[in-house]
Amino acid sequence: MNQLHFADIEQRHIGRAIAMQAQAIGERPFLLADARRFSFSEVNRRVNELAAGLAARGLTVGERLAFCMESGPEVIFLALAANKLGAVWVPINTEYKGDWLEDTIRRSRPRILVTDTQHAARVADVRERLALEHLLVHGGSSELPEAEELATVAVAGALEPDMSGFSRGDICSVLWTSGTTGKSKGVLQSHNVFFNAVRGASEQFAATEGDVVYSVLPMYNTAAWVTSILRALFNGLPLAIDPQFSVRNFWERVDYYGATQTFTLGAMHMFLWNAPAREDDAAHCLRKMMAIPMPPEVATPFSKRFGVQLMKQGLGQSEAQALCSHNESPDPEPPAASCGRPASNLEAKLVDDSGNEVPIGEPGELWVRPLQPYLIFSGYFDDPEATARAFEGEWYKTGDMLRRDDRGYYYFSDRKKDAVRYKGRNISTFEVELAARRHPAIRDCAAFGVPSQELASESELKLDVLLKPGESLTALELAQFINDNAPYFFVPRYIEFVDSLPYTPTNKLQKFKLRERGITPLAWDAQREGFKAAR
């Protein structure tokens, strides 16, 4: 283990980080991918050789290198190589295809696009409609005969690129948002944003010598870089990589790598929780796990069942990766449901639709103002209108609805676009889902608003429900359960049992798709059925 320190913070740069670790702890293991093992020195050598080949193909300061590839060491090599040239890496969601893939690549405007054997066919389908200067394929592909094989690009024996003119405010990546609320936006990230976010994650995990980080997150996702890849790099830790999350093999893979720390996102940990219990559930080497979001009522039994220490909840997003945490909490046991307090290098406030601060206990949109440069994103790529909409002066409008208690702790309420407003009341769909998930028959659910047929500009609450295999439940029974265990206004007007819910590849619900689907003939209607929630 070797935690990087920069005496001059202007020198914070991801390209410098791998060079520094190669010099300090070069022979120690860095990347583990099945049987493949790469030391810090080996990674740095490969990155330098790849950087030389990419530079020969026109990749230079400010230019973009896009990749649509399965998560693995080659993705990390490409990103580090781009940064050593002062260029920008742009991960493309590997689930994209057709028009969506074409649009994302076109909007990224890459000098070079890299794909792999698994995704070459999707790229080939849109290739003729894209103006690409250079196309590379890892592993080769008959669908893209004109593409260069990635392995042939490297220049053997290449030296360290000149990074003397680079600084922490330079853009290092464009990360496309996950599209949970609609069209993706390209988030411009500086090097310093990652250093700041990794510092917070490192304080939470408090890694020591012998720890091994395990990642199953897709590498087009911000969380993969903050909690796993760059945390391992900046702290000199081994990083074990699997390209996909598997409920069946998760704990087996943990033991295969000797992993001690991991991060799960969205519904990943709930899939583990909902799997049938086994006598050996805690017989593995994992010790620390950050699982976001984790329902408060599940946290303690999850920790006990699997024998892991769960990190406290926090709040971050692509645009502002370190919004709230418990790192600076004065209480040894802060409220379990809280996401902590705003980072000390941010000024924060909760406001209503008019920009006025809300009283303690009331939900409001979180606005933050950085107290130092390069703590949050630098805008949206090629989208000045969206950038302007995201700010009110120096204040970034996060789009997250939170509540604050009288001790200064913050509680996530909802995404502003997901909150339901009915009869003057803001209803948190996040909290409605928590209430519904307490029913033992429910595997997952999604609460969202649909236009009210009776009240213009208002929304009715709808709940789409996915049951556990073999379970049965009626809409009336569920409505009564919610009414018995939560505020009366949490009871949805509409309940529909579904066979599946739309998730992003990081298991975030895509509620905009549910809103587009709206009310179907299969939906139970409380008003039509004469059910009235008891207050």
Render pLDDT for 100-111 as a digit per residue (tens, 0 to 9).
Answer: 899 999 999 999
Average confidence (pLDDT) over 348-354: 95
Average confidence (pLDDT) over 459-472: 95
Residue ranges and CATH numbers for the domains of the chain are 17-196 (3.40.50.12780), 342-371+393-417 (2.30.38.10), 418-529 (3.30.300.30)
Given this model, what pLDDT does residue 179 score?
A: 56
Q: List helix spans (H) across 57-162.
A: 73-84, 98-108, 120-126
Distance CA 47, CA 45 (A): 5
Distance CA 293, CA 41 (A): 36
Report the sign of the C-alpha dihedral through residues 231, 234, 237, 240, in that order.
positive
For the chain, how many helices (H) and strands (E)?
16, 27
Q: pLDDT digits over 311-333, tens only? A: 989 999 999 999 999 987 888 88
Pick the residue with more confidence: 337 or 35? 35
Given this model, what pLDDT does residue 455 score?
A: 62
Question: In terms of C-beta density within 10 A (0-12 exposed, 13-18 middle, 19 or more buried), how is residue 464 classed?
Answer: buried
Q: pLDDT digits over 257-286, tens only? A: 999 999 998 889 989 999 999 999 999 999
Element (DSSP H or E) covering residue 293: none
Beta bridge partners of 66: 90, 113
Q: pLDDT digits over 385-421, tens only? A: 999 999 999 999 999 999 999 999 999 987 888 878 7
The lowest-confidence range among 90-99, 193-202, 470-479 is 90-99
Closest to 479 in 3D by CA, of 470, 490, 464: 490
Average confidence (pLDDT) over 82-109: 93
Could you give the percent of the chain with pLDDT greater than 90? 82
Given this model, what pLDDT does residue 519 score?
A: 94
Given this model, what pLDDT does residue 288 score?
A: 98
Closest to 168 in 3D by CA, of 15, 3, 347, 62: 15
